[in-house]
Amino acid sequence: MPPSEPNGKFERLYQETGWTLRQLAQDVNRIATEAGSPTKYQAQSTYQWCNGHIPARAVRPLILESLSRKLGRVVSHAEAGFPTPPAGASITGQGDIVAELISLGRLDMDASRRTLLSAGIFSATLTVPSWTEAIERKDLVTLDSSARVGASDVSFIRTMIKHFAKLDNSVGGKAARPSAATFLVNDVIPLLRAPARESVRADLLAAISEFCYLLGLMAVDEGAHRLAQRYYSKSLELAGGAGDPSLYSLTLRGMASQAVNAGHGPTALRLANAAADVTQRVSPNMRVHLLTQRAHSAAAAGHRSEAISLLHQAEKTLSKAEPETSKSTVPLAEQGLLDYFRAKVEYSLGDVSGSVTAMHEALEPLKGQGCVRRRILDTSWLAERQLQTGMLEEACATWSTALAEYPQVRSGRCDEQMRIMFSRLRPYLRNASAHSLYEQARNVVPAHLVAK
């Protein structure tokens, strides 16, 4: 029987969106598809939620994400009149970080659970702590005096970060993440409870923060966006515990990159700007990385003058950039980085031809380098922009370059670029170059990426 009490809280939120009943249901369906579990809600469903019907537990986060994205703020279960979720269900909770990392890492190690882990939705309204809030949480763990951490332990973790980062950059996150998660659980996390000198402990927390950041990057590469946000959240906590503003801002940069590439420009700008408070505390090299990401995010959010100004600031800072000595996940900022972000900014601002020229320049330094995945992603992006400007023959030649290297990687993002290539080529199959590339690619790319 239908409940006797309407859900006034949900009704108020619904009215605030300005949507029709059908529009809210359709947006929930869209987010469910994004999460890998399509739904078919209709206007009647929204009407029932307003009248007090409590949706299934698995659907509530989808509804809350829809409302949060529309309203531009975090909408909680309580605010929507939904039952409070079980303890530990939040990805931003601040419980025992050791237990949380063990749980997260073990799930990531388990091949049978990886599909489930990858299925979560990207949260456009995930809250992040300010730098002041992050450094207030000093006591992250309860120490166990049965073991002790030394500088050599931290050095070993940094060596492994360098190894996994190189593996990720060359062949992709799908290949590297399972072994990285195993190393995190079996070799890294036990050290968190061991006592150490204050300086060593800060170095340890910083190293584990960077490791969680790297796992977040790998998860993004596989398309596991909610999992990536969970790793990024832990990275922020650990960076605060270490008192390391550079790692804090690096993680926010990664989160902003994830958001802008997922199509959430305003969220990306919010995250990129959150790092602005510590910009003057980081190295010039890191500052260039932060400024370029902020420029891309601003452009994606429609803030033209801000995006151009941030790019100019990055150009002025570039000459001061020097290699990072303690962070394997932060490359030296060079001209190619500026060219790459100039391409992204110009495209976001509507200058497709300008973005093509800039990406051509960005790809020059990558020739002959080991960053295969980066080349595939950027070359594929360039080909799609070339096609937009009517350069079909050039686009086919560019895509052919990406296709030649594709078998070397195991990357969800590269898989998606191949799927996009097939989709863009289909209307032009009467063209000899497009038809030849399409048929060649069918023999290289997995069948599920070819399907219409």
On whether the CB atoms of residues 227 and 117 are closer than 8 A, the answer is yes
Report the range out of 61-70, 118-127, 216-225, 303-312 with the highest average pLDDT. 303-312
**Is it the case that residue 136 has pLDDT exceeding 70?**
no
* Long-range contacts of the stretch 348-353 (C-beta < 8 A, 24+): 348/265, 348/296, 348/299, 348/300, 348/307, 349/299, 349/304, 349/307, 352/385, 352/388, 352/389, 353/389
On whether the CB atoms of residues 128 and 237 are closer than 8 A, the answer is no
Q: What is the pLDDT of residue 382?
A: 98
Residue type, 37: S
- The pLDDT > 90 percentage for the chain reads 60
Instruction: List the single range of 46-60, 114-128, 156-170 with lowest mean pLDDT.
Output: 114-128
Q: What is the pLDDT of residue 99?
A: 77
Q: What is the pLDDT of residue 177?
A: 87
Average pLDDT, integer, range 401-421: 95
Instruction: List the single range of 222-231, 376-385, 395-404 with lowest mean pLDDT.
Output: 222-231
- The pLDDT > 70 percentage for the chain reads 90
Helix axes 372-388, 335-348, angle to 10 degrees: 40
Just give the CATH number of 97-353. 1.25.40
Average pLDDT, integer, range 210-228: 93
Q: What is the pLDDT of residue 270?
A: 92
Rounded to an integer, what distance in angstroms lies between the CA atom of residue 248 and that of residue 323? 18
On whether the CB atoms of residues 154 and 162 are closer than 8 A, the answer is no
Q: What is the pLDDT of residue 88?
A: 44
Count Cβ atoms below 10 Å from residue 134 Cβ, excluding itself: 22
Q: What is the pLDDT of residue 429?
A: 96
pTM for this model (two decimals): 0.82
What are the residue ranges spanned by the domains of the chain? 8-80, 97-353, 371-451
Report the range out of 86-90, 131-135, 320-324 with the highest average pLDDT. 320-324
Q: How confident is the model at residue 140 (pLDDT cuts 50, 70, 90)?
A: low
Instruction: List the single range of 134-143, 240-249, 326-335 with lowest mean pLDDT.
Output: 134-143
Q: What is the pLDDT of residue 249?
A: 94
Q: How confident is the model at residue 1 (pLDDT cuts 50, 70, 90)?
A: very low
Q: What is the pLDDT of residue 431?
A: 97
